[in-house]
Amino acid sequence: MSEAGKINEMEEVVSSMNSTLTHRGPDDKGLWIDNDEGIALGHRRLSILDLSTAGHQPMHSLSNRFTMVFNGEIYNHLEIRKELESSKANIFHWKGHSDSETLLAAIEEWGLEKALQLSIGMFSIALWDRDKRVLSLARDRFGEKPLYYGWVNKSFVFGSELKAIKAYPGFNNPICRRALSNYLRFMYVPAPQSIYVDIFKLEPGQYLEIGSKDITGQTVKIKKYWSLEEEIKEAQLNLFTNESEALETLESALNESIKMQMLSDVPLGAFLSGGVDSSLIVALMQKQSSQSVKTFTVAFEESEFDESPFAGEIARHLGTNHHELFVSSSEAQGVISKLPVIYDEPFADSSQIPTHLISMAAKKEVTVSLSGDAGDELFGGYNRYFWGPRIWSKISWIPFFMRNMISSSICSISQERWDILGASINKFQKASQGINRLGDKAYKLSETLNNVKSIDDLYFNLISIWHDSSNIIKGIDLSNAEAINSRKKYPRSLDLDDASSRMMFWDSLNYLPDDILCKVDRAAMACSLETRVPFLDHRVSKIAWQLPTN
């Protein structure tokens, strides 16, 4: 597009898309347009490292070959700088101390794939290569930062959230029925799908390349620069045999991860629920900090959901500067109307509500908050990892006709009556939270008895809410919907005999990025709060997979 009118038109379009993401970057904005190629990049900045204009984006490399927009953090960027500076090939003249500048220099020195492999952090990246006339998109290893892409009216578009893509002129992509079916089953839309046809999520650990001539043909090349499967294979060859060595190695890696993630030029704190994962993160943060770490928790009226007393005890023990947000039922309900704007597509994890509320409270004090997310997936914290194999050992020997009889007996009692029974049990024995919603659990057991033929079937049954949506979603072939897509299937090359380990692997591929990390990123970034997850340093993850399941 060489005409001035076309330039102005592109600028107006990208500015409009950019403005939808102001909450993700309220501190600065930038646009860049390559008129000849018809390429435009937009960026919103939440200033964390190097608050000066030296961190402004879109950013150009020294040779002017590359132009980049980057969302996230490269925690080891200082080490990467040292390695670049030790190179005899080039002399680097840094304009500032932002990780964006470091990453761009690393890409120019070593290429995109190696730069990504060397980077420890969370990120989504768009990179234009003038020489090759290729646009690359990249996403971090575990999917902490979101990245959508696709086609609208034969134009290739991308953004950190769907709302940016929907702002492109003429957006009218229909609802993807298969994505809707998967949403009804899992309560989130699994990658690479989005809720719209022709719009996709770039999956964790991948980068995408598209040439300027390939845009109208809707063809992209997707490559992996990191694979959880390969990481686990390597870890399984080097399992720990000494408990003391395992503990020492894990503690050292976590300390290093937290040290890097506490690097910030703005106020920083942590979410504290009182559970093991967040308590461990805060304890290690406080150990490394000369000041009381600011911690945040949410308190509820309903005692069965309220973990604030535990968080308060941990905070007092560690000596943190603790902030407790009391949330009434009306305040929680007030968030509901915001959720479609925050998430852009159907998302039914109810903890999105308290996560947004605690993020709003934290933002009043800090700009960055560390969390204990991913501890369950890495270290076997979910009930299904414990109960799944035990349930299977109890029912696998039962003939199918007997399972059907038991299933029918369970369903002969309404869910409401099962709930009343559960409440009665609670009164007499101070049961754990697991006894709540007994009716839902009983009916899931009934469904399990009828449908599962293996421990892996049992897992998918446990994580599924709605198995068959064909009666309400018309015109869809559900034959492939059950498997979500090919990447969700268990890879035959990964030899994990232990069922709990397979469940953890599947959750790390699916539930972690598409539910947990999606929830936290959107809930926090909606109020311009950056969250960081120390457990998702890939070196920590590898150590977790070196631990024997016993």
6 falls in which pLDDT band (50, 70, 90)?
low
Alpha-carbon distance values, 32 to 18, 148, 160, 548 (Å): 12, 19, 17, 50
Whole-number Å distance between alpha carbons of 339 and 213 = 38
Task: Give start and end residues of each alpha helix (H) in 46-168.
Answer: 77-85, 99-110, 112-118, 162-166
pLDDT one-digit tens code per residue, 275-329: 999 999 999 999 999 999 999 999 987 776 778 889 999 999 999 999 999 988 8
Which element (helix H / strand E) includes 72?
strand 66-74
pLDDT one-digit tens code per residue, 403-458: 888 888 888 888 888 888 877 777 666 544 446 677 777 877 787 777 788 888 88
Alpha-carbon distance values, 496 to 229, 230, 246, 513 (Å): 11, 12, 20, 21
Alpha-carbon distance values, 208 to 126, 293, 363, 397, 417 (Å): 9, 39, 33, 47, 52
Compute the mean pLDDT over every residue in the chain, rounded to the nearest whole number.
89
Tell me where in the chain the CATH 3.60.20.10 domain(s) lie: 4-147+202-226
| Architecture of the domain spanning 4-147+202-226 | 4-Layer Sandwich (3.60)
Whole-number Å distance between alpha carbons of 142 and 227 = 10
Closest CA to 296 of 362, 247, 390: 362
pLDDT one-digit tens code per residue, 202-243: 999 999 999 987 776 678 999 999 999 999 999 999 999 999
Question: What are the two backbone dihedrals, phi and then psi, of residue 249, each rounded to the nearest 5 degrees?
Answer: -65, -45
Whole-number Å distance between alpha carbons of 182 and 465 = 10
Tokens describing residue 501? 């380990």
Residue 313: Cβ within 10 Å count: 12
Domain 231-372+507-545 CATH assignment equals 3.40.50.620 = yes
pTM of the model: 0.91
Residue 357: Cβ within 10 Å count: 19
Tell me where in the chain the CATH 3.40.50.620 domain(s) lie: 231-372+507-545
Report the pLDDT value the prediction gives residue 458, as an integer from 0 to 100.
86
Residue 118: Cβ within 10 Å count: 16
Beta-bridge partner residues of 157: 150
